[in-house]
C-alpha cells in the first residue's frame, strides 16, 4: 500500500462494515475518546447524570410499591453513585482536601445519629430471623467487597471484614469497640480472628445484643471477651465512656 492509499483508507469511511480495517477501528475509537474527554462533553454528561439522579427520586414511590424490577433498581443505584462521585470530584489535590475538610467540619456540627426511633422500628428491632432471608450468613448490614468477579456474596462479607481489620491494623489482644455493631458482623469476625481481643459492641437494639451473644456462644467463641452495650449514642453520653479505654474504635455504616 502506498502513502496515498494509506491516507485514503484512514480518511474514507468504508461502504460496508465488512470493509472496516483494524486501524480504522482504532482511529475511530481514539477519536471518540478524544471527543468524550473534551470538557464540554464531560460537563454535558455530568449534567445528564445529575438530572437522571434527581429524577430517580421521583420514582422512589414506585420502588417502595414493588413496581420497579431489580435490574432497574440496580441501574438507578449506579447512576446515583456515579453522580455522587462527580459531586465529590475535585480539579486539584488542594480542592479535594478542602472539600474533605468541609465535610469533616459539617459532620462535627451534626448529631451522631438522627431519627433513631424510626430507624429502630424500621430495621433494628425487626427479628433477626427476618434478616436470615435477606442478609448473608454474617448478617453484615453494610457493603461487601468483591475482590474478583467470581467472589460470592458470602465471601464478599468476609473479604470486607478482613479488609477493615487490615486497614485498622488490628492485633490479637487489643481492646476494640465496634460502634453501631448491628447483628455483630464485625464483633463476631473479630472474636473469630483474634480470640484474645476484648470487643465491645454498641448498638441501640436489644434484639441485636441477644443475637450476637447467642451466635458467639453457638460458634464457640470466647463470650467472656465480648460485651454488648445497648444505648442510643446520641443521647447517652455516659455510654460513650466505654470507648475511652480502648485501643481502637471501629464503626461501619452506623
User: With the CA atoms of 226, 232, 237 and 239 taken in that order, what torsion angle do they form, in degrees rounded to the nearest 10?
Assistant: -20
The one-character DSSP state at 124 is: I
Task: Quote the CA–CA distance of 66 and 36 in Å, as a whole number.
Answer: 37
- What number of other Cβ atoms are within 10 A of residue 204's Cβ? 24
Q: Which residues contact 79 (CB under 8 A, 6 or more apart)?
A: 49, 52, 53, 56
Q: Tell the smallest beta-carbon distance from residue 237 to ligand SAM (Å).
A: 12
Task: Quote the CA–CA distance of 231 and 124 in Å, as a whole number.
Answer: 13
Q: Which of 49, 211 has the CB closer to ligand SAM? A: 211
The stretch among 36-44, 189-197, 218-226, 228-236 that binds ligand SAM (CB under 6 A) is 228-236
The stretch among 23-31, 55-63, 85-93, 246-254 that binds ligand SAM (CB under 6 A) is 246-254
How many amino acids of this chain bind ligand SAM (CB under 6 A)?
23
- The angle subtended at Cα 173 by Cα 240 and Cα 158, nearest 5°, is 85
Q: Tell the smallest beta-carbon distance from residue 242 to ligand SAM (Å).
A: 12
Q: Which residue is nearest to ligand SAM (CB)?
A: 182
86 near ligand SAM, rule: CB under 6 A: no
**Site for ligand SAM, residues 125 to 184, rule: CB under 6 A:** 140-142, 180-182
Contact residues: ligand SAM, CB under 6 A: 113, 116, 119, 124, 140-142, 180-182, 185-186, 202-205, 208, 232-234, 252-254
Amino acid at each position: 500500500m502506498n502513502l496515498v492509499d494509506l491516507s485514503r483508507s484512514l480518511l474514507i469511511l468504508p461502504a460496508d462494515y465488512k470493509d472496516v480495517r483494524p486501524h480504522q477501528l482504532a482511529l475511530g475509537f481514539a477519536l471518540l475518546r478524544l471527543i468524550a474527554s473534551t470538557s464540554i462533553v464531560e460537563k454535558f454528561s455530568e449534567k445528564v447524570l445529575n438530572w437522571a439522579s434527581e429524577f430517580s427520586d421521583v420514582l422512589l414511590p414506585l420502588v417502595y410499591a414493588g413496581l420497579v424490577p431489580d435490574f432497574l433498581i440496580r441501574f438507578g443505584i449506579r447512576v446515583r453513585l456515579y453522580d455522587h462521585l462527580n459531586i465529590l470530584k475535585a480539579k486539584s489535590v488542594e480542592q479535594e482536601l478542602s472539600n474533605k475538610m468541609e465535610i469533616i467540619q459539617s459532620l462535627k456540627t451534626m448529631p451522631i445519629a438522627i431519627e433513631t426511633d424510626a430507624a429502630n422500628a424500621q430495621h433494628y428491632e425487626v427479628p433477626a430471623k427476618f434478616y436470615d432471608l435477606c442478609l448473608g450468613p454474617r448478617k453484615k448490614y453494610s457493603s461487601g467487597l468483591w475482590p474478583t468477579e467470581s467472589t460470592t456474596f458470602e465471601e464478599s462479607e468476609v473479604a470486607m471484614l478482613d479488609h477493615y481489620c487490615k486497614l485498622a491494623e488490628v492485633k490479637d489482644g487489643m481492646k476494640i469497640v465496634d460502634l453501631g455493631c448491628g447483628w455483630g458482623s464485625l464483633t463476631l469476625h473479630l472474636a473469630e480472628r483474634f480470640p484474645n481481643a476484648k470487643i465491645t459492641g454498641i448498638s441501640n437494639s436489644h434484639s441485636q445484643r441477644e443475637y450476637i451473644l447467642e451466635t458467639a456462644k453457638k460458634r464457640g467463641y470466647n463470650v467472656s471477651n465480648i460485651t454488648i452495650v445497648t444505648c442510643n449514642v446520641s443521647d447517652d453520653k455516659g455510654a460513650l465512656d466505654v470507648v475511652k479505654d480502648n485501643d481502637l474504635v471501629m464503626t461501619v455504616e452506623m
